[in-house]
Amino acid sequence: MISTINPATGEELRVFEAHTDAQVDAALTAATEAQKAWRLVPVEERVQVLRNTAKVLRDGKDEYARLITLEMGKPITEAEAEIEKCAMTAEYYAETASGHLAPETIVSSAEDSGVVFEPLGVVLAIMPWNYPFWQFFRFVLPAVAAGNGAILKHANNVPQAALAVQDVMNKAGLPEGLFSTVLIESRRVAALIADDRIAAVTLTGSTQVGQIVASQAGAALKKQVLELGGSDPFIVLADADIKAAAQVAVKARFTNAGQSCVNAKRFIVDERVADKFVAEFLANTKSLVVGDPIDPATTIGPMARENLRAELHEQVARTIEAGGKVLLGGNFVDRPGYYYEPTIIDHVVPGQAAFDEETFGPVAAIVRVSSTEEAIALANRTEYGLGAALWTADTQTAARDLLPKIDAGAVFINGMVASDPRLPFGGIKKSGYGRELGSYGVREFTNMKTFWTGPAPTPAAVD
């Protein structure tokens, strides 16, 4: 049985029967057969489905956003923005996929040579609960534009969202069977990965789950894209605009109740401006409104699951025990549901949980440093490498000298790390590998096939 619980109340919303082996097998067979025909459809025709997808999403925005909020607790305004971002991405790929996938001519020893981009087949998408529409659509839109089919195994606490995204694609006119959602327990994923009808795997999730999926897909010699955990640094140098940095820092940390791999988690601040930054950050954080996520006035909703809240609180307790100083929050909110207070811990150092581990919730760690060199060193002192923010007035020096020293898949100078359909997104180290979005993302699940054409043979003389 797969159940969905409203994290704002703790009440069970619905219960679903897991799909049987026969149902999963039928979905795989249908996707395989549909993809054989879909791959031959010109990309200019495939992208019409993406245009339709944008319209379906916008027409149903209120319904889909409410579903996200009820199922995983995201404030309704953030859920509405998530739907709009999916629609915008559909339009982006509708306009650009043909160019991204166009054959490339390469000068070689041949009269004509280069690369064509052909789909791999049916891709298994293992998706998380924190952005139940966005994480899926940022994968599936470029994947189907490239000619692939897809099977979705979504997080089991968002089954209604998992079925809703299939409904969106059906309404958009995707060929029948090309994409299916399967409601299955996590223990059954290994069999899907091993199935010969699955050509590749994409996962957004924890580093621990990524290691498992990578080993299973690697054993089957299947292409993978892994977008995993993060402990993103938010670096504030002494010459930064402190007021602006502190204002953006609140959104960077507390969006989605801090439940995002690219939320800023470690705020590494030059000690010369640390007191000022902390005062501004603290004041801005106090303005957040904890409440019912359906209420548009709410800016912090509950965490998605009780076990996630318990794990976060245990990390906070260990950090305090090791010397961290709580400036705000640090405990459960006294109300039904899985709420946690927006929390700021100052004087965090390596060796404490809030520095060493990914804190997946509304907890900000302030790390004070004495120099730019120490700031960069501590930013890199993590097993993760997803994103990083760097705040400084000297943007030329930052781009020229500091950017190459930061270990991350993306560095945002004077801004917060966020995904953008026009830019590649992904990490290094234990944050995963491969890229989503942009031109690189649409090519991840393609065979980059080389072609080489020599001169035509001279016809043999005819007597």
List residues with catalytic annotation: 227, 261
342 token code pair: 């927006």
116 token code pair: 């064509």
User: Got the DSSP string for 349-380?
Assistant: -TTSHHHHS---SSEEEEEEESSHHHHHHHHT
Work out the number of other CB atoms within 10 angstroms of the CB of residue 456: 7
User: Got the DSSP string for 129-195?
Assistant: SSSTTHHHHHHHHHHHHTT-EEEEE--TT-HHHHHHHHHHHHHTTPPTTSEEE----GGGHHHHHHS
Q: Which helix (H) or strand (E) holds 70?
A: helix 61-72
Q: Which sign does the torsion angle of CA 56, 301, 291, 78 carry?
A: negative
Which of these, 38, 2, 376, 368, lies nearest to 176 by C-alpha position?
38
| Side-chain-side CA neighbours of residue 261 (13 Å) | 29
> Phi and psi (nearest 5°) for 177?
90, -15
- Identify the bridge partners of residue 369 per DSSP, sorted by sequence position: 270
